Amino acid sequence: MRKLIAKLALATAVLGSGLGAAAADTANIWVRADGSNFMPRIVDAYNKAHTNQIKLDIIPNAEIIPKYGAAAAGGTAPDALSLDLIYTPSFAAAGQLEDITDWAKSLPYFASLSPAHVKTGTYKDHIYGLPFSADASVLIWNKKLFKQAGLDPEKGPANWAEIAADAEKVNALGGNIKGFYFSGNCGGCNIFTFTPLIWASGGDILSEDGSKATLDSPQLRGAIDLYRSMVKKDLVPAGAQTDTGANFFAAFAAGNIGISPSGAFAIGALNTQYPNVDYGVTFLPGKDGGWSSFAGGDNFVVTKGTKKLAVVKEFLDFAYSLEGQTILAKYGSLPVRGDIAKDALRELDPRYQVAAEAMAKGKTPYSVVFNDLINSANGPWTQMINEVFFGDDVDGAIANAQETMQSIIDQAPQK
């Protein structure tokens, strides 16, 4: 009886709201947990303003890839998902994604979308992923500790020598206070915050197309020496050596660290959760100046063969609107549309502007085996950074990583 009443009520509602409602469709999308702050708010705003609806599932970061693979194999994959942008090439190479080249290029603001995202979303000249959320890497410093150490609290370090000198002065305050922090056993954290130091100095760790490992550059060696010297001088807490990323942000947030490379996400997190920490944001500098940034965040990809393409496109179009980009910015991501980024950020902390500028010129290494090379806790990159920052055999570790990386790239199914 209850079912019958429910059915009647539904039929009345559909008839009452006219034919438009009858044609309404629901698409299912997944997002990794990193997007759990902004994604539900964008989906809510979209659902309120549109007849078509989005059903959102939030999946833990570490599980989204295997879960999506299993769902795709079982024919229950969502219509679309927002995933760490670095996975886009390998997903596209697996033939799992819908080719959205024509639609993407027809967007009037296509040229303004984050170039690093579009690059990783492109596979063999076809577009399979478009930017959804963004995070740039920046350098943050504790103004209170700078002041106590006799440094100018309004001026962050602008080259490597200044990083080392400022960290040493802050460290001299003693007690629990340390000059510098980085997660020494986290591949993902260091590709995000360490490689920009190398890029800004003219070096790289992978060739442009991802087919060659280039760890034997003098710029990499120089950046390693900077970190090693700070470790040797005891400017870095002992826990950094084994930190797999759990303390990546928390160490600085505790207020005892002078300088730390971090991400734009830190601005929102510090403002809301640690309002007592007075901090500055600047670019990650090169050896003698200049700057660079990693372009992180998520790409939005569409599952091949979905029947809900129209809804998915409508949703993404909404997310790219000023309203969508403003929600995104307000709840923890940088805007991905360069042309309206300033407007989307207008109401927010001005320090976001530094991150937005970094994002516009951000860079993302391209590889179909990024996870194996970089993110894996047991991969060559993670192993190398831990050895070169804290171990004894720097040259051996670099040579070993270069060889292992190249062999993984060479054995990859498709390049």
Partner 1 sequence: MTTITASTTAPPRARKLVGAGRRQWIGLIYVAPAVALVMVFFVIPLGMTAWMSLHNWPLMGEHAFIGLDNYWAILRDTRFWNALKFTGYYTVVVTIAIFAVAFPLAIFIEKPRPLTNLYRTFFFMPAVVGFASASLLWSWLLNVDSGLFSPAAYDLGLIDKKFNLLATFQPAFWSIIAMVVWKVAGFTMIILMTGLQSIPQDLQEAAVIDGAGPFARFRAITLPLMRRTLALALILSVAGSILAFDQFYIILRGGPRNQTLTAVYWIFNQSFVSFKLGYGAALSMVLLVILVALSLIQLWLLRKPEGLD
In the list 161, 172, 238, 322, the residue contacting partner 1 (rule: CB under 8 A) is: 238
The span of 41-49, 87-95, 281-289, 292-300 binding partner 1 (CB under 8 A) equals 87-95
Which x/- pattern, by CB under 8 A, does the window 388-407 give for partner 1? --xx----------------
Answer whether 301's CB lies under 8 Å from 81's CB: yes
Q: How far is the CB of 359 from partner 1 (least distance, A)?
A: 28
Q: How far is the CB of 116 from partner 1 (least distance, A)?
A: 23
Q: Is 165 in the site for partner 1 (CB under 8 A)?
A: no
Residue number, 195 or 386, with CB nearest to partner 1: 386
131 token code pair: 């930017």
Amino acid at 140: I
Q: How far is the CB of 13 from partner 1 (least distance, A)?
A: 39
Q: Which of residues 270-329 bind partner 1 (CB under 8 A)?
A: none
Which CA distances in Å does 323 have to 1, 55, 318, 335? 43, 20, 8, 11
| CA–CA dist 128, 104 (Å, integer) | 9
Q: Is 69 in the site for partner 1 (CB under 8 A)?
A: yes
Q: Is 241 in the site for partner 1 (CB under 8 A)?
A: yes
Q: How far is the CB of 256 from partner 1 (least distance, A)?
A: 10
Answer whether 259's CB lies under 8 Å from 166's CB: yes
Q: Which of residues 178-237 bind partner 1 (CB under 8 A)?
A: 185, 237
Instruction: Reduce the DSSP state of residue 159 to 3 states and report it.
Output: coil
Residue number, 62 or 111, with CB nearest to partner 1: 62
Q: The dihedral of CA 356, 360, 365, 367: what is its sign?
A: positive
The span of 154-162, 193-201, 322-330, 374-382 binding partner 1 (CB under 8 A) equals 374-382
In the list 117, 325, 387, 389, the residue contacting partner 1 (rule: CB under 8 A) is: 387
Q: Which of residues 27-66 bind partner 1 (CB under 8 A)?
A: 65-66
List Cβ neighbours of 128 (8 Å cut-off, separation of 6 or more).
Answer: 88, 91, 92, 97, 98, 99, 100, 121, 122, 301
User: What stretch of H or E contains 201?
Assistant: none
Residue number, 15 or 70, with CB nearest to partner 1: 70
Residue number, 244 or 321, with CB nearest to partner 1: 244
Q: Is 376 in the site for partner 1 (CB under 8 A)?
A: yes
Other C-beta atoms lying within 10 Å of the C-beta of residue 74: 8
Half-sphere exposure of residue 339, counting CA atoms within 13 Å on the CB side? 9
Answer whether 180's CB lies under 8 Å from 163's CB: yes
Instruction: Reduce the DSSP state of residue 384 to 3 states and report it.
Output: helix
Tell me the number of residues near partner 1 by CB under 8 A. Answer: 33
| CA–CA dist 30, 364 (Å, integer) | 23
Q: The dihedral of CA 19, 322, 82, 91: what is its sign?
A: positive
Q: Which of residues 246-265 bind partner 1 (CB under 8 A)?
A: 247
For partner 1, the binding residues (CB under 8 A) are 65-66, 68-70, 72-73, 91, 93-96, 185, 237-239, 241-242, 244, 247, 371-372, 375-379, 383, 386-387, 390-391, 413
